[in-house]
Structure 1
Amino acid sequence: MKKIPGNNKVDEIDYSLDITPEVCPLTFVKTKLLLQRMSPGQVAEVRLKGAEPLENVPRSVREHGHAVLSLEPEDPAKGKQSVYRLLIRKQ
């Protein structure tokens, strides 16, 4: 995980996490560990792929009281096979 400068969706992305090689439940476990280290208001970018993580990670983030700002494919032409970019704001 590393801090990176802003993008076009939010002023700044504070943390980036790539969970593309992981499978459930590790996808949310790693996301949750990142959120625990963050301060309220900070934004994380999480890269994920696969049907289960695409469904479970955003849902679990919301269930834990955080905001899902966006969930977009990096390559829309690949559809569900694409790596997705999830932006989360810690509440």
Structure 2
Amino acid sequence: MPDSTEATALDITNETCPMTFVRTRLALDALAKGHLLHVTLKGEEPLRNVTRSTQALGHTVLATENGPDNRHTLTIRKN
């Protein structure tokens, strides 16, 4: 399994649903199994939708960090 420090960042704060998940899925598809994706998004709806959809695809949301201005960062491990 890759070192957990190997991670890709994706900023989708300017996107709206459903594009938030589309961009996240495309980024996950480009990663090797075990790699991490840090997704920064804005708003409660994208947070719920991206988290739920990512988990439904079998990936693991390792952490959710809440930041200023209703921004959130999800750390996702590709399974």
Question: What TM-score, normalized by structure 2, do the two folds share?
Answer: 0.90
2:33 paired with 1:45:
no
1:89 is aligned to 77
Q: Post-superposition shift, 1:14?
A: 1.6
Larger RCO (CA under 8 A, 6+ residues apart): 2
Higher CA-based Rg: 1
8 Å contact kept, 2:9–2:39? yes
Q: Which structure 1 residue ranges, 5 or more long, are not aligned?
A: 1-9, 76-80
Name the structure where strand makes up a greater proportion of residues.
2
Aligned residues: 77
TM-score, structure 1 as length reference = 0.79
| Gapped regions of structure 2 (runs ≥ 5) | none
Q: What percentage of aligned pairs have identical amino acids?
A: 44
> Where does structure 1 differ by over 3 angstroms across 4 or more consecutive aligned residues?
none
1:67 to 43, 60, 65: 60
